[in-house]
């Protein structure tokens, strides 16, 4: 089951523990992690989102970049949800987007140039 389906929206006052620094980017999905991340592997992992409604993709930076630790995406009925993990303690923010918007955002994060338009994001709410 995709991370999107694991909760119902109720409360945005949820924080996550701080992740320790890691040596390089990590790309994860339900099939496991990829530690040799390239633009091609990012595209391959994101493409899987169009093939499996329960798939997800998480790109985690070695350390925080522009106050963002990781970005993640999964399919939803209206397109794809893109979530970003912001700050320490970490809070999640999300927006609905098209598949064509995912790849540039993941690449920008991978190249340390991701600057989200905060008007498009809202806090993720949990039960």
Q: What is the DSSP string of 50-119?
A: TT-TT--EEEEEEEEETTEEEEEEEEETTEEEEEEEETTTBEEEEEEE-HHHHHHHHHHHHTT-----GG
Q: Which of 52, 17, 57 lies closest to 33, judged by CA?
A: 57
Average of pLDDT values for 107-123? 95
Q: What's the predicted TM-score (pTM) here?
A: 0.83
pLDDT in tens, 13-64: 544 556 667 789 999 999 999 989 999 999 999 999 999 999 999 999 999 9
């Amino acid at each position: 089951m995709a991370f999107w389906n694991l909760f119902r929206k109720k409360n945005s006052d949820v924080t996550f523990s701080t992740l320790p620094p890691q040596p390089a980017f990590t790309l994860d999905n339900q099939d496991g992690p990829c530690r040799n991340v390239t633009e091609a592997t990012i595209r391959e992992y994101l493409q899987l989102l169009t093939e499996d409604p329960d798939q997800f993709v998480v790109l985690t930076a070695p350390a925080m970049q522009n106050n963002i630790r990781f970005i993640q995406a999964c399919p939803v009925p209206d397109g794809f949800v893109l979530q970003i993990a912001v700050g320490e303690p970490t809070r999640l923010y999300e927006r609905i987007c098209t598949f064509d918007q995912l790849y540039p955002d993941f690449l920008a994060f991978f190249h340390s140039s991701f600057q989200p338009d905060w008007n498009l994001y809202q806090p993720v709410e949990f039960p």
